[in-house]
Amino acid sequence: MVAAIPQPAFYIFKCQQSAPPGMPKPSCVKADDPESQQLFQHLAQTLMQKGIIATVSPIQAGCLNRCQQGPVMLVEPGHTMYVSLTKEKIDRIIEEHIIGGTVVSDYVIADEVWGEAISPASLVR
């Protein structure tokens, strides 16, 4: 019998949306901000270095619709949106939330720009 491959405990969706220089809309990956370009790789490498990449799946995502708060990432389960990311913030999120089990409230998106999820069923015509 083949052993089942365990499912990840967490999925981390890191917004990788970029906009061309001069575009008025903000984006999570900016041409003139090298750190914003390195955040996904930093996330994945840190998970590998800690030996938890098999149970935490980093996913490059398109726009997560919170451009003004970027760079952003969404942690599931829990539907936790982290904003204004830096490498240091990602390190703390991995230590405290992913490993330690405690949401890092200092970096969570404000309720007034996140709100409750809307059921797709409520929007069907």
- Architecture of the domain made up of 10-114: 3-Layer(aba) Sandwich (3.40)
How buried is residue 46: exposed, middle or buried, by Cβ count under 10 Å (0-12/13-18/19+)?
buried
Region 106-121 average pLDDT: 90
Interatomic CA distance for residues 24 and 102, integer angstroms? 36
Q: What average pLDDT does the segment 69-94 reach? A: 96
Higher pLDDT, 42 or 1: 42
Is 90 exceeded by the pLDDT of residue 105? Answer: yes
Q: Where are the domains of the chain?
A: 10-114
pLDDT reported for residue 24 = 74
With 90 as the cut, is the pLDDT of residue 87 above it?
yes
pLDDT digits (tens, 9 = 90+) for 17-29: 887 777 777 888 8
